[in-house]
Every structure is written in C-alpha cells, then in structure tokens.
Structure 1
Amino acid sequence: MLKPSQLSIVVGDRKVDLARGLLLDERGDIVPLRPRAWAVLRLLAQHVGRLVSKNEILDKVWSDCEVTEDSLVQAIGDIRRALGEAGRLALRTLPRRGYMLVANGVPIDDPVSSNVATSSRSDSNWEPSASSSIPHLSIVVLPFANKCGDVEQEYFVDGVTDSLTTDLSRIAGAFVICRSTAFTFKGKAVDVRQIGRELNVRYALEGSVQRGSNRFRVNVQLSDTETGAQLWAERFDKLDADLLNMQDEIVSRLANTLNAELIKAEARRAERSLRPDAMDLYFQGRAFQNKGITPAVMARARDFFVRALALDPDCIEAAVATAHVDLAIGSSSMVDDGSVHFRAAEKALSNVLLQAPNHPRAHMFLGAIQIRTNRAVKGIAECQQALALDPNLADAHGFIALGKYALGRGEEVEGHIQEALRLSPRDTRTFLWFMFVGMAKLMINADLEALNWLRRSIEANPNYALSHFHLAGVLAMMRDIKEARSSAEVGLALDPGFTIRRYDISVSFLSDNPGWLARRECFYEAMRLAGVPEG
C-alpha cells in the first residue's frame, strides 16, 4: 500500500494530492475542479512525464457516456486554469496524440507509477462536490415509449433512442449520458427533476413512437431537469417505408432541431448567470449567429466569442465559431476586402484541427473557406470529411452545393440542397441554401426557377441583404424593373454600404470558371438596372 505522500506531485505552486483526491494551492486551500476535469488531471498525474493518449483518457474518464473530443479539450482548459501560470507549461499538448503532465522536477517522494489504480465511476472522487456545477448542455435521452401496439417494433423504437443518443453526442460541447445508464429507466414512470439530480444533467429528452396503417409518428419533448418545465416539443410524421432509412431520417431531423433548441436553452441560462464562463459566452454567441447574417448580428456574436476566448484561450468551440463569423462576413459582401476575413478564419481553423483533428464543423468551415477562395475541389473533399465524422451535418451539404456552383456544375446544386433539407428541413441556414440554388439556376439559364428559389430564401430569412440583391438582379434580367428596384431598396436598407464593386471583389475569390464569369457580367448589368450602386 502506497503512503499518501507517495501519491502527491507538485506543479508550480499547486499540489496534486492523489491520495485525498484534491488539488491544493500554496496555502493548502482546495482549488475547485469539476469531477471530470479532476479525473483527467488524476490520470495524467498517475503517469507524470508520460504521454497519455486522447483515446485512453476518453475511455477511462468518460466510460459512462457518449462525448466528443471537445469535452476533453474543455476539461484540459479547466485544468490549465486551475494549475495557474505553471499549468500552461506543465500541461503539454502533443498535437494529434494526447497530453502530458510535467511536474517540477521530481514528485514529492517517488514518481507516481502507472500501477496506481486508474479512475472509475465507483471511486468516491467521482461524486460531484458542492462547488461543482452541472455540465453545460448535458442531456439524457430516456428510452422512447413503444406505442405501436406491436412488441416486434420494440427494436425500431430502441434503435431511435440509441441513434439519437449517439448523434446528440456530436453536438459541440454536449455531454450525453450513455445508453446503458439511460436504459435503466426503460418502462418506468420518471420524474425528470429526480433524474437530473441522479445523473447530474440539465436536460432530459423523452419520446414515443406510434405506428398507424401506413405511417410512423414520433413525439418528443425536451425538459429542464431543474424546474421540470417543458422547453420544446415536436411531432414528426413519416410515411411507412424502409425502416432503417426512416430511422436515420427521423434521428437526423431530431438531432438537428435539438441542436438549435439546446443552444437557445443554454443561451437563456447564460443570460441569468452573474459570472458566465467561456461556454456560457459561447452559447450566447451561437444563439446570435442563428438569427442570421447582418453586420449587427455578426458583431454581437463575435463579441461573445472573443470574450469566451479571453476567459479560456483553449475553448475550441469559441475559436471555431469566431472563424465562422469571419467566413460569413467575407462571404456576404459586408466589407471591401473579404480576403482578410478568409485568411483569419483559415488560420484559426488550421490551429483548431491541430488540437482536435476530428472536429466536424472545423473541417466543414475550412472546406467552405477553400470553396470561397477558388479551391472548390479541395473544399468539397473537406466537407465530405466533415460528413464522414458527422453524417447529420446538413450545412456541409449546403457548402458542397456552393462548391458545385463554383465549379460551373449548376445542375448538381439542387440535389445537394435537397439532401441538406432532408436532414434539417427547419434549419436556421435554409435561407442560404435556397439562395445557392437560386444562383445555380441563374447560371444554367433557368431564370424562373432562380426567381422562385430566391423568393424562398427571403421568406426563410428576410433580413439577409444578399438574397434581396440577388432577387433584384434576377427580376431586372426578366425586365420586371419596378419590383427589381423595390427589392434592391430593401437590400440597401439592410446593408447601406453594399455596392456592385464590393460584391465583385467578394465573389471574385469564388471561381474563375469561364461560363460563370460570362453569366456574372450579365447579372451585374441587371443589378445596375435595379438601382444597385456601382461603388
């Protein structure tokens, strides 16, 4: 049996006391750490001076739930802050491999060997302390109820629960209780507030599946486990078809809708916080991003992300979201030179992927930047990699559609957008997808179809100036000058600084396809007729 002194190491002015499960400062006071962050620190301290792979940490610390690598990165950020100034040097990141804790020379007595027992859920150190908070965006998917009247459909109902548990774990910053724990509540009457206390989660998702003569109906509701209040409810009907394909579609739609709903819920919580942390600020910024793409919205969202990174420079989600803001600004003709924003976004995303090489949204946005900067083939491949990591990433299909447009393959664009809509028909980004199809239809001289898709874009989000300018150009090409001028006026009210010159600079990065360039000149002339300033 090792003595307590053999289970302590010193890192700067901090002491990692493994025997008592505590991190202490120079005065011997306890430095608070959330249970998972402590478990990561303990594992690294048990192997001080040695690389511990990401997979090993995830397997041992998060063995009871499904999480993405982002949860590990967040825990590492928590540990670095708790370790103080020395933590930034002592806790080393080995890109693509893992992490290493380096103590001040030698541990207090003997080096902590790898034979020390590793963490487990049964260890008393796993119990949440009074100072620990419930993890952000933590959720349990309770087993869906089978109301099909057929026990043979049980596998289908359980499959929906299983798949949804897996897919929600891909949401940025999510903490999802694993299936084996969730299924202990199967068939039981539940009180979501009690479940929240037992599992230390903020949200509970309940649902049921009912089968009629020729269709399935799925009912779901999301509840706040602190108050028991219902935050969101949805009913999803699907015609009876191939069960496996139908299950995938149901789960994808639910996961994408829940993503947006959970972001809103987390943002509302953060607004009530007197001392918001980095993830609180991140979720508030994401909630603003989901409102659309205008200079004011982008500025407000960026402010939240910058503040999040100031609190936690290792907050990967805030870094990705900041890059997304730069991508949006550079793509929407809001500034004279979008290339500055594209370069900033690409640099930030490249740094993120060094730390988290399997981050789906980072790959997707990097692909979008490559598409926007005349590297469409490479960008499409990057978006396809993002889809391999997260098949529910509907926006990746949208960016692939944009890539096909840039390559002059306008006839292929609508198919990719239809796939995005299949996965996420109520997505906050549909206005962009509709606009991509509209411009692709214009490229292949299907002007009436272009008009209809651009009208759909404005219906989905009337506050996106670029859709109004595109509609103005198409209307002018069809010689409806009066309505074209009206549409241009709406666009200028939203973005008074917009000019054809600024737009030309923005889209010049997109493609050098000859057919696309020729059609673009006709479009510019139409925009002039609509009254869009030359600049």
Structure 2
Amino acid sequence: MTHRVNLSRQTCRNPSALRGWTVFFQRVSVAGAREARSIFEEALRIDNTNVDVLMGLVDTHLWEVNAYMSQARAEQVRLAEVAMSKASELTPITSRMHFCRAALLIALRAPERALREIELAMSLDPDLPYVHMRAGWVKIFLGRAEEAEGHVTTAMRLSPRDPMLGTWYAGLGLADLQLGRLDKAVDRLRKAIEIAPNNELPYFHLAAALALQDRKSEAAQACEIGRRLAPIFRIGKCRVEVQSDNPVFLLQRNRIYEGMERAGVPE
C-alpha cells in the first residue's frame, strides 16, 4: 500500500484537493505548501464545506508553521484551527483527521496530546504510512528520539516509493542529530536532500551536523543553499517557536543550535 493510494482514498476525492496535493508533492517544501494552499483557498471560495480541501488547508498552514518559516505564525495556527474545527463538524473523525490534529497540537506546543492523536489514527488505520512517520516526529519532541527510527522505517516499509520519502529521511536525520549520531545524521540528511532538493529545513539540519563534525566548508555550503531557499530562517525563530518544553528534547536541541551557529545560520 502506498501513500498515494492512502491519500486518494482519504483526502483526494475532490479534484481541487488532488490538484493542490499534486503541486505539493512535486515540490515538497514550504514554497510548495504555499502554492498548494493558494489552490485550496481558491477551492474553498467556491465551496467552503469541502472536507478534503479544508484538510489540505490545515496541512499546508502547519507545514510552514512547524518548519519555523511562517511570517504570521499565530494567524496561520488560528486558520488551521478554524479549518480543522470546520472539517470535524462536517464528517466523522478519520485517521487522517487525527493525523492533522497531531500537527496542530505540535504547533500548539502539546506533543503529549499529539501522540494521543497519532495513537487514535493508528487504531483506525494501522497501514497509513504517514501516520507512522508522524509518530516518529512526535517522539522527537517528547525527548524520545531513539524511538523515531522504528516508526519511520515502518512508514518506509508500507510505502517504499512514497512522494514524501525525502521528508522521512529528514526525520531520521533529525532524530540522529538530536541524539548526537552525526555520521548517520549526515548520511540521512544528504539522502533527504537528494530526494527532495526543494525542502528547506534539512539543509539547516545538515549544516548543523557537518559543523559539529568540524567540516566547516561543507557546513557553510549547506547553510548557503538553505538560506537561498529560505531567507527567513533564523536560529532565534526556532528557539522562540520550539514545539516542546520537554527537558530532554530541549537539551538535545541546544546541540543543533550550536551546530547551526557554527555553520553560519543567522541568529
């Protein structure tokens, strides 16, 4: 079973939703999320009760917010909450909705509640690969990065040629970076960038990992590409918008900030 099969079954019955996600999957980036969101917003002006499109709006707002690249974070979180609430009123709760709600709760700095949403999503559809990937992502914010790999590799087994595969490698690389496994982090983040070269955030994580290995020129190069793709990105923005108060996570996170600073990412 692939991500495309699950997506078409759960979120793309509507042509506008399909068009929006096609754009996003082709770019897999904050820039791609913004372009896809414009399609969803246009569709909602025609029919503001379309659940597929509402969920696309939630996902694309939160992709930008949780990548620390929103220029209006509070407003985007509010709009995601409104769309999530509207979708919940219009249809029975699905695994897809629990999956989206988990991303919203991460943005609201509530990873424990996000994990509960993921568990509910898995109980409804244990074969949905991106729910397993999000479980790994949530575990990082809970200070349990060592558990992320099992979840992400399950997603990869369920959908080995998934259009989001690059982001899954990015998740593995981030978990490795949190844990100080720098060689593995570099390998996986390079793989993530190879698969999804437009995705902005992995460049900054790769820059941090390389800088922590004292590979200064490579770190500077990764930082330069990241800044070209995402000029808004700042270490200070990550600190302010961090999605968890978990002390283990925060301690591990400080290592990443140090690496980013060494690589030349602006504070």
| Post-superposition CA distance 1:399-432 (Å, at most 9, x none) | 1111111111111000000111111111122222
Q: Whose RCO is larger (CA < 8 A, sep 6+)?
A: 2
Q: Normalising to structure 2: TM-score of the pair? A: 0.91
Task: Tell me, in whole angstroms, the C-alpha distance in 1 between the residues paired with 2:9 and 2:189.
Answer: 29
Residue number in structure 2 paired with 1:516: 249
| Post-superposition CA distance 1:342-379 (Å, at most 9, x none) | 23212321221122122321211101221343322211
Task: Tell me, in whole angstroms, the C-alpha distance in 2 between the residues paired with 1:352 and 1:261.
Answer: 17
1:295 to partner: Cα distance: 4.3
Aligned residues: 266
Question: Any idea what SS the aligned residue of 1:290 has?
Answer: helix
Residue number in structure 2 paired with 1:385: 120
2:18 is the counterpart of 1:279: no
Residue number in structure 1 paired with 2:89: 354
Q: Within 5 Å, give how 1:41-80 maps onto structure 2.
A: none
Question: Any idea what SS the aligned residue of 1:384 has?
Answer: helix
Distance change (3 Å), C-alpha of 1:260 and 1:371 = closer
1:287 to partner: Cα distance: 0.8
Q: Within 5 Å, give how 1:444-455 maps onto structure 2.
A: 444-455=179-190
1:438 to partner: Cα distance: 1.4
Residue number in structure 2 paired with 1:471: 206
1:394 to partner: Cα distance: 0.9
2:31 is the counterpart of 1:302: no
1:296 to partner: Cα distance: 3.5
> Structure 2 residue aligned with 1:373, among 108, 125, 129?
108
> Structure 2 residue aligned with 1:440, among 150, 172, 175?
175
Task: Tell me, in whole angstroms, the C-alpha distance in 2 between the residues paired with 1:533 and 1:492.
Answer: 9
RMSD of aligned alpha carbons = 2.2
Distance change (3 Å), C-alpha of 1:307 and 1:401 = same
Q: Within 5 Å, give how 1:515-534 maps onto structure 2.
A: 515-534=248-267
- Counterpart residue type for residue 349 of structure 1: M
Structure whose CA Rg is larger: 1
Contact map agreement 2:211 2:219 (CA 8 A) in 1: yes
Judging by fraction of residues, say which structure has more strand.
Answer: 1
1:322 to partner: Cα distance: 0.5
Task: Tell me, in whole angstroms, the C-alpha distance in 1 between the residues paired with 2:265 and 2:20.
Answer: 32
Task: Tell me, in whole angstroms, the C-alpha distance in 2 between the residues paired with 1:502 and 1:350.
Answer: 28
Q: Within 5 Å, give how 1:22-421 maps onto structure 2.
A: 252-253=1-2, 256-258=3-5, 279-421=14-156
Contact map agreement 2:179 2:252 (CA 8 A) in 1: no
- Counterpart residue type for residue 331 of structure 1: N
Task: Tell me, in whole angstroms, the C-alpha distance in 2 between the residues paired with 1:385 and 1:261.
Answer: 21
Residue number in structure 1 paired with 2:158: 423
Task: Tell me, in whole angstroms, the C-alpha distance in 1 between the residues paired with 2:7 and 2:117.
Answer: 24
1:332 to partner: Cα distance: 1.4
Distance change (3 Å), C-alpha of 1:296 and 1:439 = closer
Q: Within 5 Å, give how 1:476-487 maps onto structure 2.
A: 476-487=211-222
Residue number in structure 2 paired with 1:45: none
Percent identity, aligned pairs only?
32
Task: Tell me, in whole angstroms, the C-alpha distance in 2 between the residues paired with 1:431 and 1:297.
Answer: 14
Contact map agreement 1:292 1:428 (CA 8 A) in 2: no
Distance change (3 Å), C-alpha of 1:313 and 1:423 = same
1:297 to partner: Cα distance: 2.1
Distance change (3 Å), C-alpha of 1:326 and 1:346 = same
1:259 to partner: Cα distance: 5.2
Residue number in structure 2 paired with 1:106: none
Contact map agreement 1:492 1:498 (CA 8 A) in 2: yes
Judging by fraction of residues, say which structure has more helix.
Answer: 2
Contact map agreement 1:457 1:467 (CA 8 A) in 2: yes
Task: Tell me, in whole angstroms, the C-alpha distance in 2 between the residues paired with 1:386 and 1:455.
Answer: 30
Distance change (3 Å), C-alpha of 1:295 and 1:398 = closer
- Counterpart residue type for residue 528 of structure 1: E
1:467 to partner: Cα distance: 0.3
5+ long unaligned stretches in structure 2: none
| Post-superposition CA distance 1:413-456 (Å, at most 9, x none) | 00000111111111122222222221212222222122222112
Contact map agreement 2:140 2:148 (CA 8 A) in 1: yes
Q: Normalising to structure 1: TM-score of the pair? A: 0.47
Distance change (3 Å), C-alpha of 1:332 and 1:378 = same
Task: Tell me, in whole angstroms, the C-alpha distance in 2 between the residues paired with 1:328 and 1:503.
Answer: 14
Contact map agreement 1:336 1:505 (CA 8 A) in 2: no
Contact map agreement 1:358 1:389 (CA 8 A) in 2: no
Task: Tell me, in whole angstroms, the C-alpha distance in 1 between the residues paired with 2:31 and 2:247.
Answer: 36
1:525 to partner: Cα distance: 2.2
